Amino acid sequence: MFKRTRSTDDFAEEIKAHLQLEADELQREGLSEDEARRRARIAFGNVGAAQERFYLRDRMAWFDNLVRDIRFAIRQLIKNPGFAATAILVLALGMGVSVAIFGFVDAALLEPLPYTDPSQLMSVNESSVESPRWPLSYPDYLDWQRMNRSFSSLDVYSGAGYILNTSSGPEPVQAERVSGGFFQTLGVHPMLGRDFYPGENRPGGPNVLLLSYGAWLHRFGARRNAPGQTVDLDGRAFTIIGVLPRAFSFAPGGNVEFWVPLNSFSYHEKMRTFYAFWGIARLRPGVTAQAALAEMNPIAIQLQRQYGITGLDLSANVVPLEEIITGDVRPILLTLLTGAVLLLFIACVNVGSLVLVRSESRRREVAVRGALGATPARLVEQFVTEGLLLGLLGSLGGMMIAAGIMKLLGSLVPKDLTSNMPFLGNVGLNAHTAAFAAAVAILAVLLLAATPTLRLSFLEGREGMADGDRGSGSRFWHRLGANLVVVELVIAVVLLTGAGLLGRSLYRLLHVPLGFDPKHLATMSVMAPDTAYKNDEQVIGLYRELVRRVSSLPGVKTAGMTSMLPVQCNCATDRITFPGRPDHGEHNEVDERHVSPGYLPALKAALVRGRYFTEEDDPSHPRVAVINQALARKYFPGENPVGQKIANDESGHPSEWEIVGVVDDVREGPLDVETWPAEYFPINETRQNVFNLVVSTSQDAGALLPVLAKTLHQIDPDLAISDETTMTDKIDATQAALLHRFSAWLVGGFAMIALVLGVVGLYGVVAYSVSQRTREIGVRMALGAQRSSVYALIMRQAGWLTAIGLAVGLVCSVGSSLLIRSLLFGVQAWDAATLAAVAFVLALTSLAASLLPARRAASVDPMQALRRE
Amino acid sequence: MPSQKNPDDRIALLQGTLDLLILKTLVLGPCHGQGVARSIQRQSEEVFFVDHGSLYLALQRLEDKKWISAKWGVSENNRKARFYSLTAKGREQLVEKTSEWERLTRAMGLILGSSPGPSSEEA
């Protein structure tokens, strides 16, 4: 016979038979039938207990109880779908958001960089007063490499653009020129082919290159025979020697497709004062970043002295490479994570309070079960199971929400940005996020299980059964619930203030004076091949033809060209001096732009003095310049700069430029940085093979872009065109705008959820207190209280909670805003308008949340309320 | 239970001893639970008090261990009853447990000294 085959019924039958036999025997011994039955039963003892022991004989009792508890818990949840849905949704929301944000934090800050032993990798550069990270010049790099003892290797990289000739026409591509040991320093090995040979990076070395995994996949169809083939870059054949692994990315380089050894140098690049190479190095074992910096600083200073370099006060800069790659996003991500954790906390508090409310209403049930013999442990088990079930369902929902949010946020980040943050591609549900999610889930379950359990220990069994204390309300819950709501409201206020400030920052940022009109401007980047456009005549001929053809297009007002579009960066700078003034070697750094005559008019940049450029401003005429007001203010205070001269070192030749005009400050640098002094030179003077076309249109600029591209290709099919976009889109896509928009939207989203949660919490507390005070209200009304005074009674309670939450929240939010100061633009952390708006919104929503239960209280029928007890 | 003795004089059976007593009772032939209880009480001269609930659980335990087998039958006075009988395995166990018990009582006797009383069985 197998263990499980015997049923409890069979066992009961046997006991029945026993009682019968015993009774028979007792009867035989002379007792009456009734007495015999009675005695037999007494002798047996507790039949029920025996049956229960049989039932439990070798089962795992706890498992049995668990199954029963789960069934009971599910029934409980189904009985209260509103409670269940709210609790699970709130929990899932809180978990989902925090797990998703953690996914980003993990990918950006916790996952190691895809290099060997990345903690030993340093970014090694010069450092100037203006910029703590200043690129190296090539001669400096060679000396640093030779002289240092701190690094086992030191390499440099420098971004480069090429025109790739493909079967479908020329295409501008991003490449990185790197010194020979670059990949060895990083500890990266090609997955196909080989790394550079030692000789290949010497000047005059062969034209070879390494492909990024993406380029191999998209341009060479992931064919294994790609190494050995040649690629046409700028009309020169480069041999592919290898393919980099899929996991490899180099964030500072962006979306680089080709890696070329540094073996040919332009005239400038050989100069000690041409700073264009960024260094990376691997620390020798046992050497710290500080020690390396302490060694490099004197080297940098000694070299400057040795070669008589003045004007730039350069020292060394040694920081972990990781900081360069993820340093920008760290404060944002940590801010977001803080927000997410706050949100999670609110969610847990809310669900905890909902569970508390329910455990309150189940006091009687608990008391009855206790009286029927359930041990306290058994009762606790029941509540723990319910918490477990809620927590599990919530966590499940949370994981789904997290996966959704990660996908959504990933797609929200524009492509331009992701190429500089390759780690964002690794955001997803992995071991780290799963562990985080599990930890959060366990905490949530513990909280949900602990709240009613704690409450239980306050229960007096008999008191609960009497059911009489329902009307008097539970002081305990009252106090706890009220405190929780205040905490929630404080958090909501803090997040709302953060969102408000970030939103205002974004608004300020997007409405910062640009100095030009970004509307109706079409832009694109053009690269003219060096091979076809070698001399001034050819290039200037192209400029003229381009402007002529584009200007004749319908809808085009003005067409112009610039070496660099506005609102991008304060790069491409120049060091100027002023002829006739003593030069003490000051570093007068200004933005340098080469523009065509039509450019400034196309931007509608207001002319303050003098004139714009004309077609005559070319190499055959005297050199002229236009400056912006910032330059005029800084270097010509109280003077008329028109007619005066500035001097610089143009392509290695000392040159003087006569100022012919002053324009309003066109914002060349990013939105969140003060406008720098800027100088404009005629593009005809200094030919640029790579330039940006800017066209002002009478209608929608976006619609003109395809026509423009077609026209350019009609002029010369070998022109490489890229980045076709409108000026407004271009500005919207700048780093500053994106970062501010991103953080404003995210914190705004958080704040909305926090507000909803806080208000739901407030509603819960007030509604609960109303339901507990029904009898009291009934008595008040029976004694003549007006409905309006009942309203006031309830609203006063809600009002107090809101007022306290608001007051504490506003104080906290000023503090927290100071923490996110670096993300604010043009707004103070204590911005009164934002704080007032937050207070108004919160007061209004709190009013709405308490109005509902107040109405219910006011509509209490005193007769019924009193009869209910 | 109509007992001839004062209930206070009876001794509750220890876990383990009951199994042995059941096996010993059944060696005489198949018997139902009530019969086993009566038999133990009678043979111990009403010293042992058999908790019926425990008895049936012990029977079930032995059945689960396949030391005894059970089937429903009819009692001498025509009542339905579940009859237990010793299996071969049960017989082996009886021999083994009996010798174990004898060793135990002997050892207890040695320790407790010369005056073996009813209390020594309690061990």
Point out the least confidently predicted range of A19-28, A397-406, A451-460, A748-757. Answer: A451-460
Compare CB distances from B2 to A3, A24, A26 and report the shortest one's residue.
A26
Residue B120 maps to a domain: no
Per the model's pLDDT, the better-predicted residue between A743 and B29 turns out to be: B29
Residue B123 lies in a domain: no
In A432-481, where do the E strands start and end? none
Question: Distance from first CA to last CA of chain A, Å, rounded?
Answer: 57
CA dihedral A274, A279, A284, A287 (to 10 degrees): 80
Q: What is the DSSP string of A389-413?
A: HHHHHHHHHHHHHHHHHHHHHHHHS
**Which DSSP category does A725 fall into?**
E
What is the predicted pLDDT for the residue at A584?
A: 74
Tell me the mean pLDDT in the region A194-214: 87
pLDDT tens digits, A260-285: 998 888 887 888 888 889 999 999 99
Cα–Cα nearest to A730, from A547, A522, A552, A557: A522
Which of the two residues, A472 and A52, has the higher pLDDT score?
A52
Query: Which tokens go with A27?
Result: 């009867």
Q: How many domains does chain B have?
A: 1
pLDDT at position A425 is: 66
> Is 50 exceeded by the pLDDT of residue A625?
yes
In a domain, B118, yes or no: no
Of A32-36, A131-135, A407-411, A775-779, the poorest mean pLDDT is in A407-411
Q: Which residues pair with B15 in a beta bridge?
A: none
User: Predicted confidence band at A761 (pLDDT cuts at 50, 70, 90)?
Assistant: confident
Residue B75: CATH number of its domain? 1.10.10.10
The alpha carbon of A375 is separated from its chain's Cα centroid by a whole number of angstroms, namely 50
User: Which of chain B's residues have a Cβ under 8 Å away from the Cβ of A21?
Assistant: 32, 34-35, 75, 77, 79, 81
Q: Residues A772-802: pLDDT tens digits?
A: 777 788 888 888 888 888 888 888 888 888 9
pLDDT surpasses 80 at A478: no
* B63 contact residues in A (CB cutoff 8 A): 1, 6
Least confident of A219-228, A230-239, A364-373, A463-472: A463-472
Mutate: best of B3, B4, B52, partner A, most A CBs <10 A: B52
* CB atoms near residue A409 (< 10 Å): 19
> Where do we find the tokens 């070329």?
A260
Instruction: Name the nearest CA neighbour of A276 among A198, A421, A159.
Output: A159
E strand segments, A186-336: 192-193, 208-211, 230-233, 236-243, 258-261, 275-283, 315-320
Asked if A18 has any chain B CB less than 8 Å from its own CB, the reply is: yes
Q: Does A55 touch chain B (CB under 8 A)?
A: no
Q: Which residue of A has its CA nearest to B55?
A: A50
* β A151-166/A275-283 pair status: antiparallel
Please give the Cα distance from A253 to A735 (Å, whole number): 16
Gap between the Cα atoms of A107 and A433, Å rounded: 10
From the list B35, B57, B82, the residue facing A57 with the nearest CB is B57
Q: Tens digit of pLDDT for each residue in A166-181? A: 877 788 888 999 998 8
Give which of A18, A29, A41, A56 to mutate to test B binding, by max B Cβ within 10 Å. Answer: A18
Judge whether B35 is closer than 8 Å to chain A, CB to CB: yes
What's the confidence (pLDDT) of residue A471?
38
- Three-state SS for A486-547 is HHHHHHHHHHHHHHHHHHHHHHHHHCCCCCCCCCCEEEEEEECCCCCCCCHHHHHHHHHHHH
Name every chain A residue with its beta carbon within 8 A of the beta carbon of B82: 13-14, 17
The reported pLDDT for the residue numbered A680 is 94
Average pLDDT on A562-588 reads 84
What lies within 8 Å, CB to CB, of A104 at 6+ separation is A333, A336, A406, A409, A424, A427
Which amino acid does the sequence have at B54? S
d(CA A510, CA A779): 60
Q: pLDDT tens digits, residue range A347-404?
A: 887 777 777 767 766 767 777 777 777 777 777 777 778 888 888 888 889 889 888 8
Please write the tens of the pLDDT for every residue from A280-323.
Answer: 999 999 899 999 999 999 998 888 888 887 767 788 899 998 88
Q: What is the spatial distance between Cα A472 and Cα A780, in angstroms, rounded to a whole number?
A: 13
Calpha distance A313→A303 (Å, rounded): 12
Chain Cα centroid distance, residue A21: 80
Say whether B79 and A17 touch across the interface (CB within 8 A): yes
Which stretch of A194-203, A330-339, B28-37 has the lowest confidence by average pLDDT? A330-339
How many contacts (CB atoms, under 8 Å) link A and B? Answer: 75
Instruction: Report if residue B122 sits inside a domain.
Output: no
The predicted model scores a pTM of: 0.59
pLDDT at A1: 39
Whether the Cβ atoms of residue A155 and residue A181 lie closer than 8 Å to each other: yes
The predicted model gives A606-633 an average pLDDT of: 91
Q: Is the pLDDT of residue A419 over 70?
A: no
Angstrom CA distances, A627 to A301, A576, A645, A830, B44, stand at: 34, 12, 11, 38, 121
Per-residue pLDDT, A681:
93
Percentage of residues of chain A with pLDDT beyond 90 = 22
Residue of A nearest to B61 (CA): A57
pLDDT at A570 over 70: yes
Which tokens go with A285?
């074992």
Secondary structure in 3-state letters for A286-302: CCCHHHHHHHHHHHHHH
Query: A636 pLDDT band (50/70/90 cuts)?
Result: very high
The answer to whether the Cα torsion of A212, A214, A218, A224 is positive or negative is positive
pLDDT of residue A658: 93
CB A595 within 8 A of CB A683: yes
Comparing alpha-carbon positions, the chain B residue that sits nearest to A56 is B57
* CA B90 to the chain's CA centroid: 13
* CA quadruple A774, A841, A823, A433: dihedral sign: positive
Asked whether residue A242 carries a pLDDT value surpassing 80, the answer given is yes
Contacts of residue A102, Cβ cutoff 8 Å, sequence gap at least 6: A337, A340, A432, A433, A436
Residues facing A610 on adjacent strands: A661
Q: Is residue A473 scored above 50 in pLDDT?
A: no
Average pLDDT value for residue range A805-809: 91
Give the whole-angstrom CA distance, residue B71 versus residue A486. 70
What is the model's pLDDT at position A62? 66
Structure-token pair, residue A163: 């025109």
Average of per-residue pLDDT values in chain A: 83
Q: Is the ipTM of this complex over 0.90?
A: no
Q: Does B78 touch chain A (CB under 8 A)?
A: no
Best CA proximity match to A212, nearest among A191, A198, A232, A229: A191
pLDDT value, residue A210: 92
The more confidently predicted of residues A454 and A326 is A326
With a pLDDT cut of 70, the percent of chain A lying above it is: 91
Does residue B17 belong to any structural domain of this protein? yes
Q: Sort out which chain A residues have CB atoms less than 8 A from B33's CB and list them.
A: 14, 17-18
A724: nearest Cα among A710, A736, A738 = A710
**B35: which chain A residues are within 8 Å (Cβ-Cβ)?**
21
| pLDDT confidence band for A68 (50 / 70 / 90) | confident
**Which residues have a Cβ under 8 Å from the Cβ of A85 and sit 6 or more positions away?**
none
Q: Choose among B57, B60, B82: nearest Cβ to A17.
A: B82
- The torsion region of residue A633 among left (phi > 0), alpha (psi -120 to 50) and beta comes to alpha
Q: Is residue B40 part of a domain?
A: yes
Indicate left, alpha or beta for A186 from its phi (over 0: left) and psi (-120 to 50: alpha): alpha
| Residues B53, A43: C-beta atoms closer than 8 Å | no
pLDDT at position A602: 93
- The answer to whether residue A684 scores a pLDDT higher than 90 is no
Say whether pLDDT at A126 is over 80. Answer: yes
Q: Does B52 touch chain A (CB under 8 A)?
A: yes
- Name which of A18, A25, A50 is nearest B57 (Cβ-Cβ): A50
Answer whether residue B67 is part of any domain.
yes
DSSP class of residue A765 equals H
On chain A, the residues whose CB falls within 8 A of the CB of B81 are 14, 17-18, 21
From the CA of A375, how many Å to the nearest CA of chain B? 23
Mean pLDDT of A528-553: 89
Structural domain including B17 reads: 7-113
Q: Which helix (H) or strand (E) holds A753?
A: helix A735-772
Contacts 24+ apart (CB under 8 A), A158-164: A158/A262, A158/A276, A158/A277, A158/A278, A159/A253, A159/A254, A159/A256, A160/A260, A161/A527, A161/A690, A162/A233, A162/A234, A162/A258, A163/A233, A163/A234, A163/A235, A163/A527, A163/A529, A163/A720, A164/A231, A164/A232, A164/A233
d(CA A613, CA A624): 8
Q: CA A367 to CA A369: how far, in whole Å?
A: 5
Closest-approach residue (CA) in chain B for A52: B53
Residue-by-residue pLDDT tens, chain B, 123 positions: 444 444 455 555 565 688 888 888 898 889 998 888 888 888 877 777 777 888 888 888 888 888 999 889 888 888 888 999 999 999 998 998 888 888 888 888 888 876 544 444 443
Q: Min CA distance, A374 vs chain B (Å)?
A: 22
Query: How much is the pLDDT for A822?
Result: 78
* Residues ≥6 apart with Cβ < 8 Å to A172: A161, A162, A163, A164, A525, A527, A720, A722
Confidence of residue A60 (pLDDT cuts 50, 70, 90): low
Which pLDDT score is estimated for A630?
93
